[in-house]
Amino acid sequence: DAKTTQPPSMDCAEGRAANLPCNHSTISGNEYVYWYRQIHSQGPQYIIHGLKNNETNEMASLIITEDRKSSTLILPHATLRDTAVYYCIEARGSTLGRLYFGRGTQLTVWP
Amino acid sequence: SAVISQKPSRDICQRGTSLTIQCQVDSQVTMMFWYRQQPGQSLTLIATANQGSEATYESGFVIDKFPISRPNLTFSTLTVSNMSPEDSSIYLCSVEGRRDTEAFFGQGTRLTVV
Contacts of B95 in chain A (CB under 8 A): 97
Q: What is the share, in percent, of chain A residues with pLDDT greater than 90? A: 77
Residue B101 pLDDT > 80, yes or no? no
Mean pLDDT for the stretch of residues A76-86: 97
Contacts of B43 in chain A (CB under 8 A): 38, 44, 99, 101
- Pairwise CB contact (< 8 Å): A43 & B108: yes
pLDDT tens sequence across A25-45: 888 888 899 999 999 879 999
Q: Phi and psi (nearest 5°) for A80?
A: -60, -30
pLDDT of residue A97: 81
Residue A1 pLDDT > 90, yes or no? no
pLDDT of residue A96: 74
- Pairwise CB contact (< 8 Å): B96 & A87: no
Residue A5 pLDDT > 80, yes or no? yes
Nearest Cα residue in chain B from A94: B100
- Of A74-88, A91-105, B24-38, minimum mean pLDDT range: A91-105
- Pairwise CB contact (< 8 Å): B42 & A104: yes
Residue A95 pLDDT > 80, yes or no? no
Contact A4, A23 (CB under 8 A): yes
pLDDT tens sequence across B104-114: 999 999 999 99
Cβ neighbors of B6 (< 8 A, separation 6 or more) are B21, B22, B23, B24, B92, B93, B106, B107, B108, B109
Residue B8 pLDDT > 70, yes or no? yes
Quote the CA–CA distance of A35 and A23 in Å, as a whole number.
12
Of the CA atoms within 13 Å of residue B41, those in its CB half-sphere come to: 13
Nearest Cα residue in chain A from B98: A97
- Contact A98/B at CB under 8 A: yes
Q: Which amino acid is at B74?
A: T
Mean pLDDT for the stretch of residues A55-78: 96
pLDDT tens sequence across B12-58: 999 999 999 999 999 999 889 999 999 999 999 999 998 888 899 99
Q: How many CB atoms lie within 10 A of CB B110?
A: 16
Nearest Cα residue in chain B from A104: B42
pLDDT of residue A58: 94
